[in-house]
Chain A
């Protein structure tokens, strides 16, 4: 079938514009199989009422039944509801975890009067570590990199003692450093016996 079209129209075929649901990223017709159906429905109703009617009106639902029996349909609906509840619980748990997680700003002594600053736990707040490291490097004009600490977690190590400045930056939500509540930030000093 496409062979005929090709010979008839040698011009490049324009791409199809496909609408994706902003909630679950699926094409809206697949929202019903996602884990956030009710939210997807709301979104579609607000943004594209005509499409909403097409997918969720009574006759559309009837037509959708297609070859499936009543039992299968109800089972599917139950599953969808269950899945949705599960996804919500998961999101809640993730949110709680996020609220509980701490950002540590560590001042570590390397030499007598040479320090590095390690910032740990930013990734929990959806901050791109690489971009944040770059930001630190630019603002302090020092080396700044993402490294693995002994526990195998990623942290940002900035050369020089910039712990207070980093704290300020997080407070002011500079650049990519967004969404970290101040209460969750902690300044600590890593020993080597030097009173501060």
Chain B
């Protein structure tokens, strides 16, 4: 009994992805960091589909045009438990451990409404493109914006990050604080960046 309960403890760090840093696609080399591609079982595909439909703001008809029911998706396994799901070699979305599904930035550009949005000011763009996480003041300053209080997002929500004066999303991140807390605390990391324009996932156009 003692031994049995000891085992999960040992692997406890593997089950809590939220605690570790998520700079996933920094220094991501397709040649060495992709460990294999496999077809996904149809039952698993069904659960992925259901998971995405419940988490993203998207209706099933639109999603059907992104990923038709008949098409089989491939799972591209990468280092650090990143799984990229690709359709005909084009990455559509990815996942870290059992975490939420994120669309790739290219997919998000095509369907910008799937994720809730936050906006950073112009001064932050430079740092964002260098791979930094987004600090709270970038959202609360004049150029940034957060959803209003009635649409507040809880912590650990995937969000699309827009930039001041720009039309398209610049990055995808996950909130570390709820949006109301970001406004209140106004210090430290507010949104962790998962993938941004120009990172190695962006460079990976075809798997």
Contact = CB atoms under 8 A, between A and B. Distances in A.
B111 A68 contact: no
Interface stretch (A13-21, A111-119, A132-140, A170-178): A13-21
Interface stretch (B73-81, B85-93, B118-126): B118-126
Interface residues of A, number: 28
Contacts of B142: 67
Contacts, number: 73
Given A66-B143, A67-B143, A12 B61 contact: yes
A33 B129 contact: yes
Contact of B59 (A6, A24, A64): A6
A18 B198 contact: no
Interface residues of B, number: 32
Contacts of B121: 66-68
Interface stretch (B12-20, B161-169, B175-183): B161-169
A14 B64 CA distance: 11
Contact of A66 (B64, B122, B129, B197): B122
B114 to A, nearest CB: 9
A25 interface: yes
Given A12-B61, A66-B165, 4 more contacts: A15-B66, A17-B110, A26-B198, A33-B129
Interface of A: 2-3, 6, 10-18, 24-27, 29-30, 33-34, 63-64, 66-68, 72, 76, 79
